[in-house]
Structure 1
Amino acid sequence: MKSLLKALLLSFIFFNLAQNPIRAEKPTLPGYSQVHIILGDEAGRVEKLVAGLLKERILEKSKLKISISKESATDNAGGLVIYLGIPENHALLQQQFEKRRIQALTALAPGIEGFLLQQVDLNLVLAAGIDDRGCLYAAGELLRQLTFGENQIQLPQNLIIRTAPAFGIRGTQFGQSGVAKSLAKVRDWTDAETQRVILDYALAGANIFSVDNGPMYEFIKSYGLMTQGGFGANTAPENKNPEWRASESIGRENYVCPSVPAARAFMLQKFEEFAKTAPSYDLLKFHGGDGGGCECDLCKPYGLTFIELVADMAAIFHRYHPATKVYFTNQKFDNADDEAIFAYLNEKPRDWLWAWGYGPGSDATTWQPGHRQTHRMDLFRYPGFGPYGLYPQEILRQMPARHKLVYFNEITHWRYAQHAYIQMYPRADKNGDLPPHWGHDIYERKPDQYLTQVYNRLTFFAWPRQYHRIFNDLMRYGVGDITHSSGNHDHFNQWMWQRLLWAPRTSVEDVVDEYARAWFGPEAASLMAKAIFQLEENLEEIPGTPLTEKGGIDSYYRMVTEAGKLMPENWKSNNWLWRMFLQKGALDRYTQLAVGQQIQIQTEIENLITANPEKDITDQILLSALEKLKTSADETSEMVSLKAEATQLGEESNALFGTRNEGLFNLNHDFIGLGWLERQLNRALAAKEVERNTLLAMITDYDNPGEGGQYDNLGTANPAPNVVFGYPYDHGQPFVQEMLSEGNRPSQRSMHFTQDEAQGVTLHYQDLDPKATYKIRLTLVRPWFQERYAMRMNQKSETIYADNEVLAQDIELPLQMSDQFTFEVPVRLTKDGELTIRFQKAADVATGDRVTVEQWRNSGGWGTLVSEVWLIKN
C-alpha cells in the first residue's frame, strides 16, 4: 500500500514538473566545493562539448574544483557527481535508470530533444538527454537550478525535471547592431563573445540560428544545433542595368524585376553560385516583399511571380543539398499576392516547399509598419482572441496540410515595428480600409513622447507582458519561430521567447522570475523581476500621467540600484547585463529631470507674463524671459550625478561585453518646444502692443479658443472632436526624428493627414452661433524627407476651404518648424449653425502611373496635412 501511495505521489510530482519546469525558488541542499562530471565511455563530440561548457559556466560564478572524466576512468569521486550524456552512450547512467526504475527516455516521454535532470542521492545527479541537444538543454536547466556561492554550489531539494520542448523550431539571429557600433560607440565582439551569445540562447532552449557560411556556422553545428540560411529572390545590389530594376514598394534600387527574362536568368545564375558554395543548411528562407518585391504590372500578382521563382531556386538548391527544408515569407504581400500563392500551392503537390513563413508585414489583419497595401476585412466577423491570430488561422485553412506555418517574429524594436509601439494610428490602406474598433488597443499603445526622443528604435528594453500576449496569440498556429534580432539590446525578449517556445504555458511572472534568478542570482532576483515589469510600464505613454509624474521611473532606478547592492561579488563583478539595466534607469531618470526642468522654465516664463497687465509687459520683461530660456540646458547636481553614473556603467558594460546604451550620447533635447516659445517671445518683442498681446496670449493660454470657440489637437489619441476625415500622420517610413523640429510644441508635432484621396483632412462644426462671426487659426508644418524618399515628395502646399469657398489657395506649409495662420470665415457660411473646413491637396501631388503613386504612398507621401485648428468666435 505504501509503495502504491509513493508511486502515485511521484507520478503527481512528475506530471507537474513535466508541464512546467520553471519553478519558484526552493530550499537548497548543503553546498559542494567539488564537482565531477562523468561522461559515458561512448560519449560523442557534442556530449563532450556540453560537459566542457557546463564546467566553464560553473567556474564563472564559483571557484570550485571540477573534473571531467569518462565512466571507466572514475575512481570513487567525492563532492557532487553528475552523470551527463545520452543513456545509450553511458553505462553508469543506464544502471541508475535500471536500479531506480526510472522510465526510459522516449520520443513521447519526455519527447524529442528532451532530458531528465534528477538528483538520485545526496551526491549524485543524473543529467540525461534523449539526444545530443537534450544533453545541452539538461546542462542549461542544471545551470538555472544551481545556487552559486563564491566557493561552492548548491542544488534545490528534490530536484527532478523531465521535460522536452513544445515547439520543433526555436531560434533567433545574433550579433551586434549597427546602432550599438555607431551610436553607442561599442567595441566589436570577439569570436568567443559571439559564440557565447549563441550558447546563451541555446542553453535557454534554442535549436536553430540564422547564420552565414563560415566559422560561426561550424561552431553552431559542432553543438548539434541547426542552421538557417537566407536569400533574397530578387536582391541584386550589384545590378547596373536600369531596365532590370524592380519597382520596389518604396522605390529602393537594390532589386531586379523577376518578370524581365534577362533579370530572372541573372538571379537564377546568382543563386546557382550561392547554392554551390553554401553549406547544407537545415532551413533556407526566401524573404518576400520586406526589402524587395516588384510592384510593376508585369509582376502582378507578385506573389505568383515570386513563388515560381523561389520554386526554381529551390530545385537548384536541392540538387546540391537535398535535405534542406525551404520556406518563404510573404512580407508586404497584398491580398492578391497571397491568394495567388494559395492557388499555386493547391494546384498540385509542391514537395519542394516545407513551410509558409510569417514575418513583419505578413499579417493581413493588422496595420503595422511595413505598409501592407490591402487587408483581409472578411476575417473581422468576430474578434476571437484579437486580430493577431486571425490571419495565421486563415493561412492554415487555405494552405495544403503538407506545409507548415513558421514564424519570423520581430521583437527587437521598441517602436515602429511589427509588435512594437506602432507610433501612431494606422493609415488607411489602398482600399481605404482601417481596422475595426475592437482591435485598436494595438495602435493606442504609444511610446512615452519624451523617452522616444532619447532612444533609438534599437535600444535596450524589456517587454514581458506585451510579448507574452503576442506569443500566446500567435504561436498556437505554427511549428515554431526564428525571431528577428538586430543586436543584443533585446536580450530579455529573445531569452523569454526561447523559454516560452520550450514551455508555452509558463506564466509571465514565472518567466521573469526565472530570468532574474538566472542572470542576477537569487539575492537580487526579486527586485530585478519587479524592475523588469516596471520598465515596461515606464516606456509607455500614459494619458494624464506625463513622464514627470511617473513614479515608476525613480522606483525602477532604485530597485536596480538596490539589486546591485544585494548581488554577491561573484555575480556582480562581470555582470554586464545588470549594468545595462541600471544604465537604462539612470538615463530615464535623467530624462525625467530634464523634462521637468524645461517645464519649470516654461511655467516661470508664463507666470512672468501673467503677473503683469497686458499694457505693462515691457521689453525688459520679455528680455528677462528670454534669459530664462538660456538656462534650459543647465544640469542639476542630480542630473550630473546620473550622467556620470551612466557613463561609468557604459564604460564597464562595453569593456565587459561590448554593449552600452546609445541614449547616453543623445540626452540633449528640446523636449517640450521651447524653440517655439523663444520664437514667440522674439516676435512679441518686435511687435506693437495689440499684436504683442495676441502673441503673448498664445504663450500663457495656448489651446484656449476663447468663449464660444473650439480647439482640435490633431494626431494620435488627441482631442480632435470635430475631425470627420483623415488619420494621424506616421511621419513616413521609417520614422526619422529629424523630419520635424524639436522646437515645435508636442501638439504641433502631431497631425492628421490624407494621402492620394480626393478628399483631404476635414473638420465639421455644429451648433455655432448664427449671429456671430468666426475666424480659423491653423498650425501647419511639413516634414523633411531623407534623400532616398525626397525625390518623389513634391508636396509643399494645400488649399483650404470653408464649406465650398476658398480661404487660402495653395498655401505653402513651413518646413520642419511650424507656424500659425489665421483666416476670417465669411459670416454667411455660419448662418446655418454649421461649418466645414476642408483641405485639398495640390493638383500635381500623387499623380502619374499606378506604381509611382504607390511608391509615393508607401514612403510617407501626404496630400493634406494639419496639426491644430482653432475656431475662434470674434
Structure 2
Amino acid sequence: MKKTRVNGVLILFLLSLFSSNAFTQMMDLRHARIIAIEQDDGLVSKSIVVLKEEVEKRTGIELIIYNKWSTSDQPSIFIGLESDMEALPQDVRSMTSKMPPVYKEGYKIAVSKTNKTVAVIGADKRGVLYGVGKLLRTMEMRTNQLLIPQDFNISSSPAYPIRGHQLGYRPKTNSYDAWTVNQFDQYIRDLAVFGANSIEIMPPRTDDDFTNIHMKLPASQMMVEQSRICDSYGMDVWMWYPNLGSDYTHPDSVARELEERSSVFKALPRLDHLFVPGGDPGDLEPDVLFEFLKKEAKVLHQFHPEAKIWVSPQVFRPTQKWFDAFYAHVNQEYDWFGGVVFGPWIKTPIEEIREKINPGIPIRRYPDITHSLSSQYPIPKWDLAYAITLGRECINPRPVDEKAIHNAFDHLAQGSISYSEGTNDDVNKMVWSDQDWNPETPVMETLREYARYFISPDLTHEIASGMLALEENIMGPLMVNDGVLRTLQQWQDIARKAPLFVKDNYRFQMGLIRAYFDAYTYRRLIYETELEHKARAVLAGDQTQGSLHALNEAREVLTSAWKNPVMPEWKKRCLALADSLFNSIGAQLTVEKHHAAAGRGNFIDNIDLPLNDAMWLLDRISVIEKLQSESDRRAQIEEMLQRTNPGPGGYYDNFGSPRSWARVRSNVSWAQDPGSLLSPRVSFGVGLKNQEWVHEVTAKGFEGSASPVAWMNQVTALYDQPLEIEYDNLDPKSGYTIRVAYTGRFRSRMKMLADDLLVHDFIQTGIQPIYEFEVPMDAVADGQVVFKWTCGEGERGAQVSEVWLIKEEATAGRNN
C-alpha cells in the first residue's frame, strides 16, 4: 500500500477563495433548488439529505430536491458524480471540466454567477459527501438567508486515505457516555462535514466499567448503532479491541475470548478494520499476541470477510527482545494483517518504525489530541498552575500545536484516527481532519470554517481569533502572560453582542468557559503568590511577640486565599457554564454534580486548588507550633524558610521553572519531536509510595503530609533516553554534594553519572523523595559538569524535580 500524497493527487485549485467572505460578492441561494443528477446511489442521496437538513436547521429554508434539471431562472445546486456529467447543463459541464482532475474521495465545486448555479461533483460517492461538507463550511447561513461567494471554485482530493476519530462509548469518557443515538449521528455527521471518513468504536468490555449513570443504552447496543450510523454516511468503521483476558495460551481461556469477539463482530452491521493495541491496556508477548490474532482473524472474517487487523507496539515497559519479536511478526505480512498503528506510549519513533517494517506495510497514526499532560503530546513546558487546575483532560483547543504535530510526521503514515475521550478536543478533531485532507491548510482557515458553520457566520473571525487566543493562554509561564485577561475581554465582548442561539451553543460555551477559567487562574496565581511571599516575610521578620504569634499570623495570611477569594464572579460564571454544558452535551466537568469519572474531564473540581506552597507551609506550621521550645520552633521555621537555599556558591533548580530548564540539554526541538521520544519534557504529579498513575496534580504528598509544590513537576526523559542537566561556573578546587528530588508519576530504576563518572548506581525511585550524594571531584575539575540519569531496560523514564548543588563548605545543616 503506497502513500497517496504525491504531486497531482492533492490539488487545491482556488481561482478566488478568500479566507473570509467579508469583502466577496455573494450569490443568494435562498430560493435555490437541489438537482440530484444521481438518484440510484444511497450515499449520494444521503449527502443531499445532509445538505438539505443542515441548511434548514440554520436558515429555516427548505430546499426542494428535483430529480432532473429544467431551464429556469431559479438558482440551482447540482449534486452528483463525475461519471454523470452528461446530465449537467452545458455551461456547468464546461466550467467543471476546466478544473483540475480529482481522485478518490475528491470533489469539485463550481459557482457560476452568470447562470446562478452551484455544482458539487464527486469523483466517487464519498467525494459527493465531502464536497457537500465543504459547501456547507463555505456558505453563510442565517435565518432566511443562504449565501455563497460568487467566485468560489475548488477542485480538491484528500492527501491521506485514513481520516477519523475514536468515539468510545464508555464511562471513562467526559461526554460520549451521556449521548443518545441522535447525538452520535449528529456528531459523526459533523466530523464527515470536515472530511473524516473513519470512526473508531469500542466493544462493551474495555479497561473501564460496563455502565454508569449517564448511559442511555447498554454499550452492546450503542456500538451497533454507531456502526449503523457510520455505514449510512459511507464511513469506515474501526474498532479498538484490547486484549484484557487473563490467559491467552490456555485453550479454554482462548475459546472464551473468541466467543466474546464472535458475538461482538456478529452484532455489527459494518466493521472494516480492527485495531488491537499491544498494550495500554493488555500485556502480551508478541508470539502469544500474534498467535491469538490469527485465531481472532478467522472469527472476524466469518462476519466481515474483508476486514483487516491492525496492531500497535504499545507497551508500558518495553524491552528490545519484545520489539524484535513484534516487528518480526509484522514483517510476515499475514493475509489478515492491515498495518501498524503509531500511538501513545510507543517507545520507537515513527521514523524508526517506518525503517523497521517492510515498505508496503502501512502505518496509521493514533494521535492523542485529547490530553494535556501524561500524554503522547503534552503541552510543552506547561505552567504548573494550569497543570494543577486544567488537569489532564480539560477543554483544550490547540490548533497551532496540532497542525505542527500532524505535519511533523504526516508523510510517514496513511493518515490518522485520533485518540479522543470526549468533546473537550472538538476543535482539535476538525484541525486534524483538515490536515489529513490537506496538510497545507492554514489553521485560521479551519477555525473560520468551524466558527462559521458550527456557531455563527457573523462571528466567524472573532471566534476563530478567540480560539487562537485560548491556545496562547496556555503557552509559557502564566505569571507573566497578561494576554490571558485580554482573551477574556475578547470572549466577553463576543458574548455581549451574540444572539441567544450563539450563547446557548455548546461549542461557543466551551470557548467561553476556558476564557473565564484561565483568567480566574491567572488572577489567583498572582494573588496567592503574593500571599505566600507575605507569609514567608512574617515568619522571617521580627518575632518579638514570639514564634507562635508569627506562625498564627502566617496561617491567617495563607488561608485568606480561600477566606477572601479573588474574582469570585468569574468562578461563578464557570460553574454556570459547566451546568449548561452538562445539560446540552452531557459534558461532565465535576464529579459530585455532573458525575464525572475522577481524574478525567472534571477540571472544574480543580478551580480552587492552591497555586502556591500554602499546603506545605500550613502543614509545617502545624508541626512546628506543637514544639515546646521557643528555640526549637525558631530553628524549624528557619529550616522551612531555607528549604531551597543551596548555600554560598551553590545552585538550586526547580525543573518546573523556565530558568531551570535552561540547564536541561536537548539536541532536538519540540517541532521535530513533539512526543518527547528523543528529548526531555515537563511532567506532573507527586507519584510517591506506588502512586504510579497520578493524573490530578494535587497537594497530596509523602507520609501523610503535604508536598512542596516543587515536587509536582519534573523534567522527564522517557524510557531509556538519557536525561542530561548541565552546570558551569563551578569552583574547580571545591568539592560538591548533589541533593536531588526524585518525584513523579513513574517509579523507575535510575542511575546517575557526573561527566560519565558514577554518582550512584541503579536505585528504585518512588520510595523516598530526597537523595544526597557526593559529586566525584574529577567531574568538577574543569568548573563544569553534566549530570546524566538513565533508566534500566523496560523502565518508564527518568524524572528529576529538584537539584541542589552544594559547595563543600555549605553542606552542613541542609535538610529537606
The TM-score bracket by the shorter chain reads 0.7 to 0.9
Looking at structure 2, the residues matched to 687 and 753 of structure 1 have their Cα atoms a distance apart, in angstroms, of: 42
Q: Give me the whole-angstrom Cα distance separating, in 2, the residues matched to 1:755 and 1:343.
A: 24
Contact 2:697–2:712, Cα closer than 8 Å, also in 1: no
Q: CA deviation at 1:394?
A: 1.3
Q: Which of 414, 418, 431 is the matching residue for 1:479?
A: 414
Q: Is the 8 A contact 2:738 2:803 kept in 1?
A: no
* Residue type at the aligned position of 2:146: I
Aligned counterpart, 1:171: 164
Alignment RMSD (CA, Å): 4.8
Deviation at 1:166, TM superposition (A): 1.4
Q: Aligned to 1:199, which of 179, 189, 193?
A: 189
| 1:623 counterpart residue number | 552
Q: Distance in 2 between matches of 1:342 and 1:822?
A: 42
Deviation at 1:749, TM superposition (A): 3.6
Are 2:579 and 1:648 aligned?
Answer: no
Q: 2:376 aligns with which of 406, 418, 422?
A: 418
SS in 1 for 2:485: helix
Question: Structure 1: how far apart are the matches of 2:68 and 2:144?
Answer: 26
Structure-2 separation of matches of 1:340 and 1:54: 50
Letter in 2 for 1:283: H
* Length-normalised TM-score, structure 1: 0.72
Secondary structure of 1:281's counterpart equals coil
AA at the equivalent of 1:412 = T
Output the CA distance in 1 between the equivalents of 2:112 and 2:662. Answer: 69
Q: Tell whether the 8 Å contact from 1:87 to 1:94 is kept in structure 2 after alignment.
A: no
Aligned equivalent of 1:608: 538
Tell me, yes or no, if the aligned pair for 1:21 and 1:163 is still in contact at 8 Å. Answer: no
Which letter maps to 1:666?
N
Q: Kindly indicate whether the alpha-carbon contact (under 8 Å) linking 2:171 and 2:177 is maintained by their aligned counterparts in 1.
A: no
Q: State the distance in 1 between where 2:681 and 2:431 align.
A: 35
Q: d(CA) in 2 for partners of 1:206 and 1:754? A: 34
Write out aligned runs for 1:220-619 (5 A): 220-232=230-242, 234-236=243-245, 245=246, 256-258=247-249, 260=250, 262-264=252-254, 266-294=256-284, 302-332=285-315, 334-344=319-329, 346=331, 350-365=334-349, 390-395=351-356, 398-401=357-360, 403-421=361-379, 445-540=380-475, 542=476, 545=477, 547-568=478-499, 572-612=502-542, 617-619=546-548
Change (3 A) 1:177 1:552: farther
Amino acid at match of 1:44: D
Q: Give the SS at the match of 1:737.
A: coil
The whole-number CA distance in structure 2 between the counterparts of 1:19 and 1:407 is: 33
Map Cα deviations across residues 53-100 of structure 1 (whole Å, 9 max, x no partner).
21221222223343233227x79473x4212223556865365544x3
Q: 2:132 aligns with which of 122, 139, 152?
A: 139
Quote the Cα distance in structure 1 between the aligned partners of 2:98 and 2:663: 70
Residue 496 of structure 1 and its aligned partner are, at CA, apart by 0.7
| 2:122 corresponds to 1:129 | yes
Structure 2 unaligned residues grouped into runs of 5+: 1-7, 203-222, 590-601, 666-679, 750-756
Q: Give SS of 1:633's match.
A: helix
Kept in 2: contact 1:47–1:135 (CA 8 A): yes
The 1:350–1:869 alpha-carbon spacing in structure 2 relative to 1, beyond 3 Å, is same
* C-alpha displacement of 1:177: 6.9
Whole-Å separation in 1 of the counterparts to 2:711 and 2:347 = 32
The share of aligned pairs that are identical, in percent, is 20
Aligned residues: 730
8 Å CA contact 1:85–1:127 kept in 2: the answer is yes
> Would you say the 8 A contact 1:22–1:514 is kept in 2?
no
- Take 1:833 and 1:40, find their aligned partners in 2: how far apart are those partners? 80
Cα distance, 1:581 vs structure 2: 0.5
TM-score norm. by structure 2 comes to: 0.77
Q: Return the offset for 1:153.
A: 1.9
Residue 700 of structure 1, CA deviation: 5.2
Contact persistence 1:615–1:689 (CA under 8 A): no
Asked if the contact 2:27/2:113 (under 8 Å) is kept, the reply is no
Q: C-alpha deviations, 1:304-338, integer Å up to 9, x for none?
A: 43234323432443344322233222222654444
- Describe the shift of the 1:199–1:624 C-alpha distance in structure 2 as closer, same or farther (beyond 3 A): same
Deviations 1:143-191 (A, max 9, x none): 111112332121112121121211111111225674665xx8x992222
CA contact (8 A) 1:713 1:869 kept: no
Q: Return the alpha-carbon distance in structure 2 between the equivalents of residues 129 and 84 of structure 1.
A: 8
- CA distance in structure 1 between the aligned counterparts of 2:177 and 2:579, rounded to whole angstroms: 10
Which of 692, 695, 704 is the aligned partner of 2:645?
704
Residue 767 of structure 1: aligned partner = 731
Aligned 8 A contact 2:95 2:110 in 1: no
Paired with 2:490 and 2:124, the residues of 1 have a C-alpha distance of 41
Unaligned runs of 5+ in 1: 1-11, 237-244, 246-255, 295-301, 366-388, 422-444, 796-802, 841-845, 847-852
Q: Give 1:426's aligned residue.
A: none
Q: Which has the larger radius of gyration?
A: 1
Taking the aligned partners of 1:548 and 1:111, their CA distance within structure 2 comes to: 50
Letter paired with 2:325: A
Query: Contact between 1:330 and 1:358, CA under 8 Å: does it hold in 2?
Result: yes
The alpha carbon displacement at 1:642 in A equals 0.7
CA–CA separation in structure 2 for the residues paired with 1:805 and 1:690:
37
Distance in 1 separating the partners of 2:663 and 2:121? 67
1:658 aligns with 2:562: no
Equivalent position amino acid for 1:357 in 2: V
CA contact (8 A) 1:127 1:138 kept: yes
Partners of 1:549 and 1:609 lie apart in 2 by 27
Q: Secondary structure in 2 aligned to 1:202?
A: helix
Relative to structure 1, the CA distance from residue 688 to residue 328 in structure 2 (aligned partners, 3 Å threshold; closer, same or farther) is: same
User: 1:20 deviation in Å?
Assistant: 11
Relative to structure 1, the CA distance from residue 680 to residue 211 in structure 2 (aligned partners, 3 Å threshold; closer, same or farther) is closer
CA distance in 2, matches of 1:320, 1:702: 65
User: What CA deviation, in whole Å up to 9, does each residue of 1:196-233 have, x standing for no partner?
Assistant: 1100000111111113651221121112222123433x
Instruction: Provide the C-alpha distance between the structure 2 equivalents of 1:709 and 1:229, rounded to a whole number of angstroms.
Output: 56
Using a 3 Å threshold, how does the CA distance of structure 1 residues 754 and 222 change in structure 2: closer, same or farther?
A: closer
CA distance change for structure 1 residues 418 and 710 in 2, over 3 Å: closer, same or farther? closer
Corresponding residue to 1:218 among 206, 211, 228: 228
Q: Does 1:736 align with 2:665?
A: no
